[in-house]
Amino acid sequence: MEDILSQGGDREPSPWPRRLAIIAALIVVVVGGAVYVSHQGQHHALVAPAPTSAPTTPAAVQAGPDPLSLPPEADGITGPTLAWDRDLRLPVAGARPAWFSPASGRSQQIGGLPADRSGYQFIRVAGGWAVQASAVVPAGCGNCAERPTPVWLLADGARSASRVGTASLVAPAATPGAVWLTSYPPGARMTTAAGTAREATATGTPTRPVRLPPGYAIYQGTVRGLLLAPVGQQQPAAVDKLWDPAAPAASQALDGVLAANPGEVAWTPPCALQCSVQVLDLATGRHTMIALPAGSSAASGTFSPDGRFLALQVSSGNAGDGGELAMQLQVAPTAGGRLTAVPGTFASSDALVAFGWPGSGDSLVSEFSFTTKTQLASWDPGASRPAVTVIRLGSNQASLTLG
């Protein structure tokens, strides 16, 4: 979970897999892949927040018909494409955060966020984003906590953000429009320290503090308590767990978590010849299995805003000149159903910068960096082809956050 989380696909370590980008973005990687967000491995442990920076442009390869044999040249997503939704806005991190419209190519500065040369991290929450000023990680201690920095809430498409407090780490809450703010004593080593977390909203007062288990941070608030992820690389390797502060002894361990929202968790159990992704409905207890193609595995994932779909980065084979994996974005209904490949997204895993559901609808947006261009693609489940646009290298759009 990186942003704060490093999960799902933002370019900066969030400590959540997309999201700690998350925390990695939930310290995420965050923006740059947002918080707590990419990632790529399966589920990454949380790490301390890092300043936003534009990624280097990796070499990539053109999609081909054989998932185990990628051609040597790259030219991006080709073929007929659809027009972009003119209402879709993507947050751009940096010293002066802005909304970017892929349809028009124009940007509009976001109000309420003072200029900060260290930049900001964006962590996806229900109905919008948590925005955190980037902190400087103490030299020589990547898992040490820095002094808490300001946090804002920004609704989807809103012109300005509202400050909600300060924190070392930020994670989405189960309550819409709320976030979990976790703080540590300055300089504390988060792999062994116990953080103190509070749930906060833009209009209400923070809830009573919750003391987290040592070495864990919040990945996602859920209807069954808090989904926690281990901070940093711990020995022996720790796993994620569903944890209820009122009944800590009843915690449920979940190894290989790919994605989570307030009502669902997706993870990959150990597998051999054919892997699968398990989806647990936290309210009903229903399990759904999503079968993956033989010889492939899911490297990261993210749920759509309404929880009806799960997008996965499905990787297979060592095929690129540098030994990188071939990969394709695929989407499945969470209630059961087969994976559907997102048109045009078959490429080297090094080409995928980030993917997510940055709007309130079911548009999956992905960013690819090829040898000749950087492209954004937007696809709605069931559509025959995506909307595609080229973004200029070196522009502010290099710090886009997709969720």
Summarize pLDDT for 1-25 with one digit per residue, the tens: 333 223 333 433 333 333 333 333 3
Spatial separation of the C-alpha atoms in residues 372 and 103, rounded to whole Å? 21
The CATH number for 126's domain is 2.130.10.120
In a domain, 128, yes or no: yes
In a domain, 69, yes or no: no
In a domain, 174, yes or no: yes
Containing structural domain, residue 187 = 90-399
Best CA proximity match to 153, nearest among 162, 143, 144: 162
Q: What is the pLDDT of residues 237-248, one digit of tens each?
A: 678 999 998 888
Q: Is the dihedral of CA 357, 299, 239, 21 positive or negative?
A: negative
Average pLDDT over residues 207-217: 93
Number of domains in the chain: 1
In a domain, 33, yes or no: no
Spatial separation of the C-alpha atoms in residues 332 and 383, rounded to whole Å? 14
Tokens of residue 387, six digits:
């909307």
In a domain, 65, yes or no: no
Q: What is the pLDDT of residues 159-184, one digit of tens each?
A: 999 999 999 999 999 998 899 999 99
Q: What is the pLDDT of residues 86-145, one digit of tens each?
A: 999 999 988 899 999 999 989 999 999 998 888 899 999 998 999 998 876 666 676 788
Q: What angle do CA 96, 98, 104 make, to 5 degrees?
A: 140
The pTM assigned to this predicted structure is 0.79
Q: What is the pLDDT of residue 89?
A: 92
